[in-house]
């Protein structure tokens, strides 16, 4: 991993750690919880249905959790556009892609429409950066998340991660390899 020694940034959570749960609004105002994608009883209410995430297999889904600094910036638009172009690898019966920034849901809605992004863009706007901080990738000096990606298995364990500094784009092929290894 790169970018872990930045001033104002805690160390990212490690591979093998339980992924911190979160509850964030997406670009349409819907609540998305990481627990909703876990297999077994996790993320399910007493009626046995997933809360907030629609009908899903009891086995859960792997999650590719992508943090990015800001909407409407060149590197971010490029990375999220590459994910859009390879969407079947990241949104399917086994996997769900979730992208997180500290932008407001209103900004994310316009950004998604402009860029043709049809996967959830989650707002870590308020309390500002709480989820980014939980993952150890919030840059206190800049007020945004670093470029962190966490592949989380169906049980909620981080199985792969990479964290890059703000100007450094990530390699999409690494995500595909990490998912194939699950």
Indicate the angle between helix axes 172-180 and 74-85, nearest 10 degrees: 40
76 is catalytic: yes
* 3-class SS of residue 173: helix
User: From CA 59, how far away is CA 155, in angstroms rounded?
Assistant: 9
Q: What is the 3-state secondary structure (H, E, C) of 72-118?
A: CCHHHHHHHHHHHHCHHHCCCCCEEEEEEECCCHHHHHHHHHHHCCC
Of 13, 53, 76, 178, which residue is the catalytic one?
Answer: 76
Least Cα distance to 162 among 180, 149, 176, 143 occurs for 149
Active site (catalytic) residues: 76
């Amino acid at each position: 991993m790169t970018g872990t020694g930045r001033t104002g940034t805690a160390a990212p959570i490690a591979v093998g750690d339980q992924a911190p749960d979160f509850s964030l609004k997406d670009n349409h105002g819907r609540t998305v919880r990481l627990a909703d994608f876990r297999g077994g009883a996790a993320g399910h209410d007493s009626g046995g249905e997933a809360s907030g995430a629609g009908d899903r297999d009891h086995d859960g889904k792997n999650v590719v959790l992508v943090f990015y600094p800001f909407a409407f910036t060149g590197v971010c638009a490029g990375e999220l556009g590459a994910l859009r172009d390879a969407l079947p690898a990241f949104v399917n019966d086994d996997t769900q892609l979730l992208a997180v920034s500290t932008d407001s849901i209103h900004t994310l809605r316009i950004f998604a429409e402009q860029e043709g992004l049809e996967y959830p863009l989650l707002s870590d706007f308020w309390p500002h950066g709480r989820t980014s901080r939980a993952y150890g990738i919030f840059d206190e000096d800049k007020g945004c998340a670093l470029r962190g990606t966490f592949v989380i298995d169906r049980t909620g364990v981080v199985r792969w991660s990479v964290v890059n500094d703000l100007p450094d784009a990530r390699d999409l092929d690494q995500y595909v390899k990490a998912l194939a290894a699950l």
